Copies of this chain bind each other. A is one copy, B any other.
Amino acid sequence: MRRFVADKTRNLVRRASTCSPTCPVSPRPHHPPSLLSQPTSPPFSSSSPSHPSSITSPLRFLTAAALHPLSFPASPNSMASNYSTTPVTLQSVNPKVLKCEYAVRGEIVTLAQKLEQDLKQNPDSHPFDEIIYCNIGNPQSLGQQPITFFREVLALCDHPAILDRSETQGLFSADAIERAFQILDQIPGRATGAYSHSQGIKGLRETIAAGIAERDGFPADPNDIFLTDGASPAVHMMMQLLIRSEKDGILCPIPQYPLYSASIALHGGTLVPYYLDEATGWGLEISELKKQLETAKSNGVCVRALVVINPGNPTGQVLAEDNQCEIVEFCKNEGLVLLADEVYQENIYVPDKQFHSFKKVSRSMGYGEKNISLVSFQSVSKGYYGECGKRGGYMEVTGFSPEIREQIYKVASVNLCSNISGQILASLVMNPPKVGDESYESYTGEKDGILSSLAKRAKTLEDALNSLEGVTCNRAEGAMYLFPRIDLPHKAIKAAEAAKTAPDAFYARRLLDATGVVVVPGSGFGQVPGTWHFRCTILPQEDKIPAIVSRLTEFHKKFMDEFRD
């Protein structure tokens, strides 16, 4: 049935330009297709090791999932046919929306939510007592506690009336109170409930710029900072700026974080894949970038930008500095905007690797504002703080002319500003307590505790995965994920085909049904054809890890016994 729906959807994507009967038909111009939509067309069919089928699994299977009744948020029993008189249909909806997919909250998660409901109604309804969400980098949903100092400051800025009250001294640390005063002084009229400047509150941007300068050893300009509701809107803003049609391409890593494929699809562009080399710990080869760029060009695609995710998501590698120099050189020579996803810059777990921002690397190479167009994305959702729900973040925009900066500013101004709590939090993570501050010890204790525990969890899960038959897993040098490769038996692949699902989605579904552990199939991120993976976060609390390991090990053994050729 799902295959049927998937096929139906692909047809709809092609037919979607027809309008309602009362309206004229507007035929869609034929353009090179976006990677995740019409895979068999150039530029990708000719680009080895790229073979469309693997990249398109998200559409083939997750679109099917998207139409699966279970994934419908509203009353699941309502039938589409009852809506025959309503004006918007799958035939008349924007086809770019149909094309867009986001696996991190795809079919498996919807099924998990369903199982969670079952457990609430009947704790014995499944062979596990809880669902463990390893599908998304959402630390506090799995019990990670927020950094006390940050929350103290946020609370005081939300209710400044208590700042002068004596009880407040007993409830909040002195430096939190002082910081709240400082921040309020930076906000015109101390109005934390007012729209700010479209780029964010100037004083907070100055704090962030100072933090960047301290991190990199190179100056940063507050006017280059655009504060956003998390990193996602910033990525959308840049895609909106760059993508004019399906003839515009964005180079993205495969595997990639599906925000990029989704955003490119929504803005009607073409995702140009470059493959990370799993054999060398998800290495980024310039030769691969060049090859894919040439293939895209030869297929009439105008490549506008290169997306680099460092530390990697879902792959967890941390780029070496000399590799970053090559990437900067490549972008400069090829006239590409470098879109640097650096939201995991605080998440480094191995002593032999270190985070270097692309801004620092380019400046170290002697390239300045006029030489390289570089956008760095940062978020309060990741790092050791993991404040996903606060939707804070920023992009640092360098190397764009005044006219283009003006256009970015204009787009930002249409939505007025990002939320002020998120803006404040972004300034706090870039300027945490310093030695001598009252909160310094508790702050460093909380921070180091979280980061060292994440490193431990990463290693434990990595070792456990590598001990499984047919599973190989690169180490998580950084970020929050492991992306193990599963050498699935031929029988399992056949069974998946029979079930009209991707082999890795089949495995993930079986894993969920047996253990309650939620992971995302590799097909949601893209992978080399014929290889199968899943993404698993390292975020469950330490006391849960042994259970996860034993459940996973037991499940995998049974799975392999069932399908071993």
Contact = CB atoms under 8 A, between A and B. Distances in A.
A321 to B, nearest CB: 24
A191 interface: yes
A419 interface: yes
A76 to B, nearest CB: 8
Given A195-B138, A413-B102, A86 B370 contact: yes
A223 interface: yes
Contact of A101 (B192, B337, B410): B410
A353 to B, nearest CB: 27
Interface in A54-109: 66-67, 69, 71-76, 78-80, 82-83, 85-90, 92-98, 100-102, 105
Contact of A418 (B101, B152, B391): B391
A241 interface: yes
Contacts of A199: 73
Contact of A401 (B69, B83, B403): B83
Nearest to A137: B195
Interface stretch (A164-172, A283-291, A310-318): A164-172
Contact of A19 (B102, B168, B302): B302
B405 A390 contact: no
A115 interface: no
Contacts of A410: 66, 97, 100-102
B98 A388 contact: no
B162 A391 contact: no
Nearest to A138: B195
Interface stretch (A23-31, A461-469, A477-485): A23-31
B415 A232 contact: yes
A123 interface: no
Interface string A325-348: 000000000111100000000000
Given A94-B244, A233-B415, 16 more contacts: A26-B244, A26-B247, A29-B29, A67-B403, A82-B401, A86-B400, A94-B242, A100-B411, A140-B192, A162-B171, A229-B391, A230-B415, A259-B414, A391-B419, A391-B420, A421-B421
Which 4 residue pairs are nearest across A and B when measured between Cβ atoms?
A23-B302, A83-B401, A155-B159, A141-B194
Interface of A: 16-17, 19-20, 22-24, 26, 28-29, 31, 66-67, 69, 71-76, 78-80, 82-83, 85-90, 92-98, 100-102, 105, 136, 138-143, 146, 148, 151-152, 154-156, 158-159, 161-162, 165, 167-168, 170-172, 188-189, 191-196, 198-199, 221, 223-224, 229-230, 232-233, 236, 240-245, 247-248, 259, 262-263, 266, 297, 300, 302-304, 334-337, 369-373, 381, 386-391, 399-407, 409-411, 413-422
